Amino acid sequence: MSGLSTAAIPYASYLRVYEPLAAFPERERSHWQRYAAASAAGEPRTAQDELRQALADLVPVPPVPVPVRESPDAFVTLVDGVLHVCPWRTRLRGWLAMEELTDQWPAPVLDAVLPPLVRRQAAEDFERWRERNPDARPWIRSATWHVPVRWFVLFDDGERLFAPSGDVIEVPDSSGEGDRKQRPAPSLRYRAAMVQARRRVARGLRVLRDTMEDSPMIDDLVDVGRWLEEFHPRSLVELDYGGLVHVIPESGLRDDRSAADVTTALSALRDGDSDAAGEAYTRLAERWRAVRDLQFAS
């Protein structure tokens, strides 16, 4: 377990929705109020905490691909005096992720990692749970080794939040006998008001439908738009580069203007300038192709 406590981060990005406290049922509000107060008094929870727990659940034999109980944790933020909450809902997201595995991994590899019996039991548990919770949806979506292009449609370059890595600091090592130097990683996020994100999805869809007869991007953007409609209109939407900051050089993060490239491409398509749209999309595609290629680097 000591290795898991310091294990580095899977290379994933995240799209999160933070709902105002008033959006939650009365029975949940008191829990999140207490949780936020406790978080403010200590170290805030991070995506790393959730990932480490998920890795720990895979250690037993047989592995536990989906938590037995739903996580009581969340990301919380206070904006203009209003508490916003993004529940982890790790159990639900685990079930949803398992449904996607068959399309991502070859059967022999999948059987070795998660035996068929384990997957079948998890699927049956999910079916029973879904019957009791037909309207449940996750507050967090994730993607490995890239940020989906459709996510950038939700944001404007002015909402980009880049924080460079800090100064080198001294941190006690695990033995307590000495210190080791650790350089905090940079971060790159976007955060938008829900109303703005929904408008941008609608505008993007109009442009794509007017200029492209058939494109997977249209279906992808419709899916994101429907997901956003599930939440309170005063919510916040956040795109977090997450673990990708550990494989993209800091200079690359500083110069990354992916949301701006998507905005430029859509505006050019709307104006009938296919050359400008192609140039913007090429910049975007090459940037993320270089990141995804690292997945197969030795």
Cβ contact 159:211 at 8 Å? no
Instruction: Give Cβ neighbours of residue 139 (< 8 Å, ≥ 6 apart).
Output: 16, 17, 18, 19, 86, 87, 88, 89, 231
In terms of Cβ atoms closer than 10 Å to its own Cβ (0-12, 13-18, 19+), residue 1 is exposed
Average pLDDT over residues 229-255: 96
Distance CA 237, CA 239 (A): 7
Question: Residue 107: which residues within 8 A CB-CB, separation 6 or more?
Answer: none
- Looking at residue 17, what is its pLDDT? 98
On whether the CB atoms of residues 207 and 270 are closer than 8 A, the answer is yes
* Residue of 269, 153, 270 whose CA lies nearest to 200: 153
CB neighbour list of residue 145: distance below 8 Å, 6 or more residues apart: 11, 12, 244, 291, 292, 294, 295
- pLDDT at residue 62, rounded to an integer: 62
Higher pLDDT, 209 or 48: 209
Which is more confident, 179 or 33?
A: 33
Bridge partners (DSSP) of residue 187 are 163
Q: How many residues does the chain have?
A: 298
The set of residues, in sequence order, having a beta carbon less than 8 Å from that of 247 and lying 6+ positions away, is 11, 291, 294
* 66 vs 43 pLDDT, higher one: 66
Q: What is the pLDDT of residue 170?
A: 47
User: How far apart are alpha carbons 26 and 32 in whole angstroms?
Assistant: 10
What is the value of pTM for the model shown?
0.84
What was the pLDDT predicted at 256?
Answer: 97
Radius of gyration in angstroms for the set of CA atoms belonging to the chain, rounded to a whole number: 21
Identify the pLDDT of residue 46: 65
Are residues 64 and 119 in contact, defined by beta-carbon separation less than 8 angstroms? no
SS3 116: helix
Share the mean pLDDT of the chain.
Answer: 85
Band the pLDDT of 210: cuts 50, 70, 90: very high
pLDDT in tens, 75-104: 999 999 999 999 999 889 988 888 777 777
